[in-house]
Chain A
């Protein structure tokens, strides 16, 4: 099927690769005189019946094991954590010594020693302080991807609710239905309060939803005065447009895990300082709860007691707010917990 020109190209490519192989081969032959010896190799010999030494202790990190096969059979050497293979090298022929440099966390593992019927060896990996318990794992970037993405979905959904409520608010004002307008205004304010943790990413002063006569607080007073006139309709129109804009901005912005957690802490700290909690405090704490819950597995892995304390302080704050009893001390506790959570997750302020 292939054309002659294609055949020629393939043959040419093969010829080129042959030359590369030859060059590399010559380089290897010339280099062979310089033996590579890592000074801190852990030598393990595997005989027909056992590993020698059969119990090895190394420091965590990337130790190099030099596995020498002194048995008469081809063997493979594995480091096992339970049944899971942490590191492995196959096809070690008799008389061969091969290096394996696995990354190892503190803990106690098994190593296979040739035949299945041979007793497995033990491998102890110690931390810098000599302990074998695994260090509390700060989340990696990959760990943070899932909760961050889930929060993004939550923020987008809340912004959609905000947009829908603001549109309904405008219709109600146009129709002159004051009661409906107040309901929709409250809904919009709740939706906005839920995403308070990420609002600090945007310019608060310039946002008509957060400042000036079109902010929900100002609108609430306007509606409370029961004065529905053309100026109210104008204000509400700006509100609707701003709400839709915000939805678009949230859609196109990806808040970092640091911004989300720090933002949640800021929301609580602001509330703790406030003299009047306002009607949206419960919704704001609901938004904070979302952040805490999404990152909870990672927080618990890094610092179990902190995760427990966060749950307790959050529940206490919610109870206090639900009973309408102002407890700035509770909020201050929660704000401090969130700062600690940020540190535990490795989301430093820098």
Chain B
């Protein structure tokens, strides 16, 4: 029953050479803009709007350096170093998971220690120095660099390889849409009511982190490093293909995979099973510490 639908989609795609480059760039772009948006809104929400300049600088530097690297690679006709790229993605992915998770738990602590609704009190609650801000800017830089190099090489390929301008246009539009998504997350993040921000953004960030962690496991496999538990758990490539519009969105934001391996599923589910109960305060040990005074 899906067959007919698939055939239609496939035919549709071949007819429109824009769509696939658009979706590829959208996914790569979202993976970067998501982290930028989260970090930027977090900084604003915690009274560090002055750090935004550093965030945008980090984004710009990463984009430009990736552009230079991609241009050089294409100029030299060199092979794309996919294995090294995967290893890089895995390392940055794990660092990002660590930082996002600590952000979430830090927010929870800050939310509990302050009187609800008083945004100004966060400033005082925020005694962390500039190290924290610098680390977040570093995260933004590497999150963009992580996707930027591969995206740049792909973008150049669309300019060089396609018969018409449509593929390149699709790719550029994909990147632009990803930027819009990042901004939407940023705007949404800074508009949302503070206590909601802390609660529901935190859940969202934890799910994002779970996806990043599973993706890092996959990158490690593709880098030739991790080779255990590689049996495919389910094949949904005919149900929600990863390169379909919906699949792209789910994969870019939540780390969806249409053919996940056992190790990816274990890491994804395991991360959420551990982090969510801790976040919502399910006591890990029967003896619960004194509640808020």
Contacts and interface: CB of A to CB of B under 8 A. Distances in A.
B79 A99 contact: yes
A93 B230 contact: no
A1 B57 contact: no
B20 A73 contact: yes
A95 B161 contact: yes
B138 interface: no
B147 to A, nearest CB: 11
A77 to B, nearest CB: 10
Contacts of A31: 75
Contacts of A73: 10, 13, 20, 241, 243
Nearest to B261: A83
A48 B10 contact: yes
A95 to B, nearest CB: 6
Nearest to A18: B64
A202 interface: no
Nearest to B22: A93
Contact of B82 (A89, A94, A116): A89
Given A17-B68, A85-B222, A74 B75 contact: no
Contact of B71 (A2, A24, A87): A24
Interface in A1-17: 1-2, 7, 10-11, 13-14, 17
A305 to B, nearest CB: 30
B79 A20 contact: no
Contact of A117 (B9, B71, B237): B237
Contacts of A93: 20-21, 24, 154, 157-158, 167
Interface in A54-109: 71-74, 78, 82-91, 93-101
A137 interface: no
B83 to A, nearest CB: 7
A20 B224 contact: no
Contacts of B9: 72
A348 interface: no
A74 B221 contact: no
Given A74-B20, A85-B222, A28 B13 contact: no
Interface of A: 1-2, 7, 10-11, 13-14, 17-18, 20-21, 24-25, 27-28, 31-32, 36, 48, 71-74, 78, 82-91, 93-101, 115-117
Give me the 3 closest cross-chain CB pairs, A-B, nearest first: A17-B64, A24-B71, A72-B10
Interface of B: 9-11, 13-14, 17, 20-21, 23-24, 28, 48, 50-51, 53-54, 57, 60-61, 64-65, 67-68, 71-72, 74-75, 77, 79-80, 82-83, 86, 130, 133, 150, 154, 156-158, 160-163, 167, 221-224, 227, 230, 232, 235, 237-238, 241, 243, 259
